[in-house]
Amino acid sequence: MKSLLSLFIVLIICYPLSADITGDITVKVIRVSFQNDDIEGTTGNGDFLYLTELDMCTEYTIDPLPHDKSYFESQLMAVNNYFRAVSYGKFGIDLENSMIFPANEETSYHLENTMDYYHPYAEDDLHEQRLTELFKEAVELAYTEDGIGIADDDLIVIVHAGIGQDFSLPFLDPTPEDIPSTYVDAEMLQTYNNGPITIGNSTVEHGIILPETQNHLLYDIAESMFSTSSTPCEYQFGLTGTFALMIGFAVGLPPLWDTESGQSGIGIFGLMDQGSNNGRGLIPSPPDAWTRTYAGWEEPTVVKPGINVQLANRSEDNLIKLDINSDEYFLIENRTNWFRDSVSIDSSRYLMYEQSGNEQRYPPFVEVLFDSVEIEKDDNGVVISIPNYDLGLPASGLLIWHIDEDRINNGITNYTINGNREKRGVDLEEADGAQDIGYPNIFLFADPTGGYFGDMWFQGNPEYEALYPDQEGQPLEFGPFTHPNTKSNDGATTYLSINNIGLPIQCHFL
Domain locations along the chain:
2-18+298-337+391-506, 23-251, 340-385
Backbone phi, psi, residue 115, to 5°: -60, -40
Cβ(370)–Cβ(282) below 8 Å: no
Q: What is the pLDDT of residue 500?
A: 85
Q: Quick one: average pLDDT of 127-136?
A: 99
Between 430 and 442, the more confident residue is 430
Between 325 and 508, the more confident residue is 325
Q: Is the pLDDT of residue 18 over 90?
A: no
pLDDT confidence band for 14 (50 / 70 / 90): very low
Q: Which residues, listed in sequence order, are joined to residue 311 by a DSSP beta bridge?
A: 3
What is the rounded average pLDDT for all residues in the chain?
92
pLDDT digits (tens, 9 = 90+) for 220-231: 999 889 888 889
pLDDT digits (tens, 9 = 90+) for 441-490: 866 456 788 999 999 999 999 999 999 999 999 999 999 999 999 999 99
pLDDT digits (tens, 9 = 90+) for 65-101: 999 999 999 999 999 999 999 999 999 999 999 999 9
Between 315 and 181, the more confident residue is 181
Return d(Cα 288, Cα 280) in angstroms, integer.
19
Q: Is the pLDDT of residue 6 over 60?
A: no
Return d(Cα 261, Cα 456) in angstroms, integer.
25
Q: Is the pLDDT of residue 16 over 50?
A: no
Q: Quick one: average pLDDT of 302-318?
A: 83
Which of 175-189, 191-205, 293-307 is predicted least confidently? 293-307
Q: Is the pLDDT of residue 172 over 80?
A: no
Q: What is the pLDDT of residue 170?
A: 63
Q: Which residues, listed in sequence order, are joined to residue 92 by a DSSP beta bridge?
A: 24
Neighbour-count burial for 231-260, b at 16+ CB within 10 Å, e otherwise = ebbbbbbbbbbbbbbbbbbbbebbbbbbbe
User: Which is nearest to 160 in space by CA: 64, 245, 46?
Assistant: 46
